[in-house]
């Protein structure tokens, strides 16, 4: 599929410097651009590449002024915000390349399952009893949709996803490969002999609209009630969301974050990779947690936390400065001890 510079500028309300008729057939990073590719430049750190790129078209900010001569084969499309405009093109590209409605065979649809218009159901996918699938849903091969599951309009379920019984997925969500939604929470109680007995997990998982869940993330069902991911939540790959956790609206978590049971995370919280959050606590709206931090207790007001246990980032930096000087301080202490011994002998 080809697009001309003129068409791209029209979509983005941009202006053209160069050949309006030049066409592109694909996308590429500016440093890897080839003839027929579309690139963008938003970060000044990458400006050097625009003077040697092989791309045919590059989207740049209106404020961009070349420091030297550009390649003669390069056409610029100038826009207000190059990054957001390129993201818009990526979204349009995704819409044009999405799966067309079809039900591939072999696949299984229970006689009591219901689905709307425009469904794509890949081979070896499974729709369980009383499942309810909305309009324009894409379910890729080898996905398992359990009994009484509901999936809203426009949601994409990638290959190998497992959604256990009674869970609810909203509209316009994206669930990536290997995700497990609704497995049992980690609930065990020791008996009089010290052996762990399983506590039945009879709740479910509710995922609201516009949520994206990264590959191989697991979201456990509630012991009772619901584990909830509110509207707009973004969870990266390899995260663990335990039973009865609630993630507030527009909260984002990077890879390998673990959230223990019954923790309540506020809205617009940002959590860096490999951070751990203890159970049964509350995190205030707008909190930021730096990667690899550990949060053992509730956070009552929005702040940026770092370390384990997590403390305000400015305090952490001061503490770390002292920690780095610890070998020097220990040497000084040893020197002072030696001098004290010498003075005592005298």
pLDDT digits (tens, 9 = 90+) for 229-262: 999 999 999 999 999 999 999 999 999 999 999 9
C-alpha to C-alpha distance for 244 and 241, rounded to whole angstroms: 9
Q: Supply the pLDDT for residue 182.
A: 98
Confidence band of 54 (pLDDT split at 50, 70, 90): very high
pLDDT higher than 90, residue 50:
yes
If you classify domain 3-97 with CATH, what class do you get? alpha beta
C-alpha to C-alpha distance for 175 and 211, rounded to whole angstroms: 8
Give the SS3 label for residue 147: coil
CA 314 from centroid of its chain's CA atoms: 27
Please tell me the chain's helix, strand, coil percentages from 3-state DSSP, rounded to the nearest 5. 20, 30, 50
Other beta carbons less than 10 A from residue 282's beta carbon? 13
User: Is residue 282 annotated as part of the catalytic site, yes or no?
Assistant: no
**Tokens at residue 50, please?**
């625009």
Q: What is the pLDDT of residues 84-101, one digit of tens each?
A: 999 888 888 777 777 899
DSSP for 14-50 reads: -EEES-TT-EE-EE--GGG--TTEEEEE-SGGGHHHH
Q: Which entry of 110, 158, 176, 243 is annotated as an active-site residue? A: 243
Topology annotation, domain 102-315: UDP N-Acetylglucosamine Acyltransferase; domain 1 (2.160.10)
**Tokens at residue 326, please?**
């610890």
Q: Supply the pLDDT for residue 335.
A: 87
pLDDT higher than 80, residue 273:
yes
Q: Supply the pLDDT for residue 342.
A: 82
Let me know: does 115 contact 127? Beta carbons within 8 Å.
yes
C-alpha to C-alpha distance for 58 and 7, rounded to whole angstroms: 13
Average pLDDT over residues 219-235: 98
- For residues 329 and 119, the model is more confident at 119
Confidence band of 328 (pLDDT split at 50, 70, 90): confident
Confidence band of 4 (pLDDT split at 50, 70, 90): very high
Q: What percent of the chain has pLDDT over 90?
A: 84
pTM of the complete model beyond 0.85: no
Q: What is the pLDDT of residues 145-184, one digit of tens each?
A: 999 999 999 999 999 999 999 999 999 999 999 999 999 9
């Amino acid at each position: 599929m080809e697009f001309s510079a003129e068409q791209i500028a029209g979509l983005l309300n941009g202006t053209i410097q160069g050949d309006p008729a030049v066409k592109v057939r694909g996308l590429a990073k500016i440093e890897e651009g080839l003839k027929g590719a579309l690139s963008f430049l938003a970060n000044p750190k990458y400006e050097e590449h625009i003077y040697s790129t092989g791309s045919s078209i590059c989207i740049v900010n209106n404020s961009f002024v070349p420091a030297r001569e550009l390649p003669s084969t390069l056409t610029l499309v100038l826009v207000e915000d190059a990054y957001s405009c390129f993201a818009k093109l990526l979204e349009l590209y995704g819409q044009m390349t999405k799966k067309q409605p079809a039900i591939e065979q072999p696949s299984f649809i229970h006689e009591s399952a219901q689905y709307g218009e425009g469904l794509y159901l890949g081979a070896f996918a499974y729709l369980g009893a009383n499942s309810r699938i909305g309009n324009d849903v894409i379910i890729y091969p080898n996905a398992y949709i359990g009994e009484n599951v509901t999936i809203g309009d426009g949601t994409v379920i990638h290959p190998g996803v497992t959604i256990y019984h009674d869970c609810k997925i909203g509209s316009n969500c994206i669930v990536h490969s290997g995700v497990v939604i609704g497995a049992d929470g980690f609930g065990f109680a020791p008996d009089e002999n010290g052996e762990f007995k399983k506590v039945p997990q009879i709740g479910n998982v509710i995922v609201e609209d516009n949520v994206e869940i990264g590959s191989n993330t697991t979201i456990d069902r509630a012991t009772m009630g619901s584990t909830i991911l509110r509207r707009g939540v973004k969870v990266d790959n390899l995260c663990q969301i335990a039973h009865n956790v609630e993630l507030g609206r527009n909260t984002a978590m990077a890879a390998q974050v673990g959230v223990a049971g019954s923790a309540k995370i506020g809205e617009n919280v940002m959590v860096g990779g490999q951070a751990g959050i203890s159970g049964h606590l509350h995190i205030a709206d707008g909190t930021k947690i730096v990667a690899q931090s550990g949060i053992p207790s509730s956070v009552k007001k929005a702040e940026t936390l770092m370390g384990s246990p997590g403390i305000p980032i400015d305090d952490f930096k001061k503490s770390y400065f002292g920690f780095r000087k610890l070998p020097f301080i220990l040497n000084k202490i040893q020197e002072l001890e030696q001098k004290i011994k010498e003075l005592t002998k005298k």
